[in-house]
Chains A and B, each alone.
Chain A
């Protein structure tokens, strides 16, 4: 690249980073200051003192802490004895959280598919899974987040020089299992810090899944904040504000927890390593067995249940009637599909084009930002790039709406595109940044020695070698765009009707067949993209000689 072009790239990139991403987020943070400051009012402490508010806080804390821990350890246990992931993990990400929750409910709760098809099992399911309980909600979140954490763990493992580590560990006389927990585990925790933070924040802020299967006397804080914000009395509006501030603080608390857990675990591992005292054989054995069972059971349960939930959705969309206590449906029909076909196709078209644009835009944005990093030798703080996932979405969207205001009518697609882009950028950053930063400049230098220009080297070497993670990041961004609800409805002024908007509406109704049909339609696009992406990534896999492994 010539000097002029380089400078142009730099200034253009910085302009884009600031204008598209940092500025609107800064704006939102400024908007949040008075909200957060409202907690210094005297009534706020009265509000917090209410037993039901404290209970909600407790529930949200559990949701922010347990799912990342459970998903994290299940993934570690599973991968501590395997080097490969089952191939169908990536497509599991295509299942939206709420469709998964609905599917789990339709499947596992008493009266659901399982209890209908296995006669006499009603009581069993009733005792095992309690509708609208914290325990069921935690199980749903754990199994739903697991594929994401697994994938992130696998990405991290792929880039570690495992062979050398193992060799060193063996020379020092460690067993393989010790080697994993003392050497690999701390490394993984560091690499997974951001994904686990995202899972934690999701737990704190989740609304849709929590209202489908979660407790409601009282519910988690996020659900109540949404409820207060929809009540329009001065008191409930005030509570919604306080709740938003609390959500933001809770988010920070769970982040601190993830970090603290990582510090403690690493400390433990390094002490184990330096002292080299093997724990008693019995304890190790028990732990190993427990881990083996939990890891395997968790992962296969997650795969099985996602598949079954998907199947349940298809099934319900063609059921005409299914009287209770009968093993199979009484009547089948295509009429739901015939009635809705046109609407579904229209919504899918809008959704698909929007998601194509958003995913590509986010990918380009992040690659430019990462190239800027490489050029300036300075790293953007990850926390900054993940800000959109940390600020409560409802607050963020309403602050933007205030600014966008009337202009949302003149170009609704543009605003929805932009809002979705910001969330997609965070997810792309999450999936791509670590791998991209690790790319060794030596390859580019070698290419230049061989006579390639900067641009040629970049396209032919770097892009080519990073193709698989780039594809993965793009598919994640695509499904994020498909699944975003609030930014689409509020900033799109009702002009942008995606399949998720429709699925949310039908999901609130009585008609289970249509709810299932739209939920299925919602899964279709991400599913196709994930399967296609997985195939492409495999097709264009490039070996990285440094680690002896294929990239992602």
Chain B
């Protein structure tokens, strides 16, 4: 694609950049325009509204953003963010020039669904100055195996693990498929997982597959018929053995991780999945979770991924959305977010001085290739739904 005729142009551009001194002012000028345009706008930020910590954190953010930039942040809390994803997709079908959503909290299938139909604003890292602060060591260029292509920026990080109430569940410091099954056989009805395709449920299956197969490298490549039949055999033989000892004998499953966590706190289950490793400390400090609960990985490694922010191409308050996004990636905001007393969501940027930063407690495992995700879900549903 590189054409010799373009060289002079590129050189000129480079010279212009240098001439504008360190290239920074170019961004700053654009950014000044954005800031000016954003003043007075109201940004409608759609996201899942079930997390009290996230909701209160965003309340703090809204005050700061109002004060610093004169932008009003309206958090639109939803029972399930896919309602807004469906709305934006419908807007695309309608060819609507103005979207109801300015900023949206997504990852995984919801991001794919928006990216697929071309609904998202691209080149985000060039539009948001604080994107430069993002920690280059974190693998956020992919979201559940699909390249983000700069259509979303990471907001926080997550690592799959289990809350357990009983040490017997562990062997060698982690819950393993074997220890889980043995525990279930001794204590019928105390083990379960959220019903796939709920993403904690699907991740539970992926984690199980990783552990059962000893981190089979084929899981990182597109799925093949051979790998599928071999590895699914392992997985479903295990689940077929586990389910009779599971909660409700595997005849029903919790609808979400939140529901399973409540069941656990009611003393009806011994374990529940969770994705935010820093949340437990805060919940225990506030007395919402008993001090007997501890967290542990499921298998030797823990699937680690990110949650992201994206802006619909047709968003009406786009400048405002960029300002909000930029603020949420600032050191100040990321630090506040990482505080276990506030939210405890791990940061995605490198702090200037790295004191008391929340790290990831378990050795990270990458997500299996995205083709496994769909295959797992449909195989599970065909078998157990």
Contacts and interface: CB of A to CB of B under 8 A. Distances in A.
Contact of A401 (B90, B98, B265, B287): B90
Contacts of A291: none
A78 to B, nearest CB: 33
Contacts of B218: none
Contacts of B381: 52
- Give the residue among A112, A324, A398 with the most B Cβ atoms within 10 A: A324
Contacts of B98: 406, 409
Contacts of A232: 82, 85-86, 89, 109-110, 112-113, 116
A217 B51 CA distance: 26
Contacts of A409: 98, 100, 316
Contacts of B50: 505-511
B327 interface: no
A216 interface: yes
A86 to B, nearest CB: 33
Nearest to A232: B113
A131 B87 contact: no
A231 interface: yes
A131 B50 CA distance: 22
Interface stretch (B41-49, B136-144, B177-185): B41-49
B32 interface: no
Interface stretch (A26-34, A63-71, A491-499): A491-499
A320 interface: yes
Nearest to B267: A324
Interface string A302-315: 00000000000000
Given A509-B50, A509-B52, A111 B83 contact: no
B351 to A, nearest CB: 28
Contact of B49 (A217, A231, A493, A509): A509
Given A501-B77, A506-B50, A320 B287 contact: yes
Q: How many B residues touch the partner, as a band? A: 35 or more
Contact of A506 (B49, B252, B253, B263): B49
B268 A110 contact: yes
Given A230-B83, A490-B83, A405 B91 contact: yes
Interface stretch (B20-28, B149-157, B254-262): B254-262
B252 A132 contact: yes
Contact of B109 (A231, A330, A331, A406): A231
Contacts of B266: 110-112, 324
A453 interface: no
B91 A505 contact: no
Given A321-B288, A324-B266, A514-B52, A493 B100 contact: yes
Contact of A131 (B49, B82, B91, B252): B252
B254 to A, nearest CB: 8
Interface string B86-101: 1101110110111011
Interface string B217-229: 0000000000000
A133 interface: yes
Shortest Cβ-Cβ A-B pairs, 9 listed:
A505-B49, A509-B50, A111-B266, A493-B100, A324-B267, A232-B113, A132-B252, A321-B287, A505-B77
Interface of A: 52, 110-112, 130-133, 211, 215-218, 227, 229-233, 320-321, 323-325, 330-331, 339, 398, 401-402, 405-406, 408-409, 489-490, 493-495, 497, 501-502, 504-514
29 contacts: A52-B381, A111-B267, A111-B268, A132-B248, A132-B253, A215-B251, A216-B252, A217-B251, A217-B252, A232-B82, A321-B288, A324-B266, A402-B90, A406-B94, A409-B100, A493-B87, A504-B78, A505-B77, A505-B79, A507-B79, A508-B49, A509-B49, A509-B50, A510-B257, A510-B258, A510-B261, A511-B50, A511-B288, A512-B262
